[in-house]
């Protein structure tokens, strides 16, 4: 089940994808969208959010490995790694970068001015609130 804030995130990412011309056309696109995920934490710390994101994308009709690929980058609590990880996402030319908190978002913003960045953040005190 997707949490309320997770569902909002999924729809926001879906809207970003819809802003691309290919998705707005009547015919389905053959383009595989490339999403970058940047986190200051470990995969285990944000596993609920990752699962909600994957489920939401499936609900929107995107199949990972078919028309959606995701580049996962985790700093495992080592904040000094975030600039390098953000630069990697830019280098592999993702279509959008998903971040997990204001500080992480700042590193993504410093790495690119052309790739859309989606900030996923809520203040409920859970693991999604990153440093």
What are 85's strand-pairing partners? none
Whether the per-residue pLDDT at 22 is higher than 90: the answer is no
- Locate 64 and state its tokens: 């990972």
Please give the mean pLDDT across all residues of the chain. Answer: 79
The residue behind tokens 């904040």 is: 79
Q: What is the mean pLDDT of residues 121-126?
A: 57
**Strands 68-74 and 33-39, bridge-based pairing:** parallel
Question: What's the pLDDT tens digit per position in 60-112?
Answer: 888 899 999 999 999 999 999 999 999 999 999 999 999 977 889 999 999 99
Q: What is the mean pLDDT of residues 6-32?
A: 55
Structure tokens at 33: 């969208």
Share above pLDDT 70 across residues of the chain, in percent, rounded to a whole number: 69
Give, for 39, the enclosing helix (H) or strand (E): strand 33-39
Domain residue limits, the chain: 4-119
Fold of 4-119: Rossmann fold (3.40.50)
Q: What is the pLDDT confidence band of residue 2, given thresholds at 50, 70 and 90?
A: very low
């Amino acid at each position: 089940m997707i949490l309320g804030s997770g569902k909002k995130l999924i729809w926001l990412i879906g809207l970003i994808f819809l802003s691309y011309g290919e998705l707005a056309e009547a015919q389905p696109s053959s383009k595989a969208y490339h999403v970058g995920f940047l986190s200051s934490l470990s995969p285990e710390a944000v596993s609920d959010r990752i699962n909600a994101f994957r489920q939401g994308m499936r609900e929107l009709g995107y199949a990972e490995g078919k028309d959606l690929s995701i580049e996962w980058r985790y700093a495992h609590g080592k904040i000094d790694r975030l600039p390098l990880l953000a630069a990697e996402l830019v280098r592999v030319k993702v279509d959008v970068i998903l971040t997990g908190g204001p500080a992480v978002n700042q590193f993504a913003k410093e790495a690119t001015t052309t790739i859309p960045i989606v900030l996923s953040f809520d203040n409920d005190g859970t693991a999604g609130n990153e440093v």
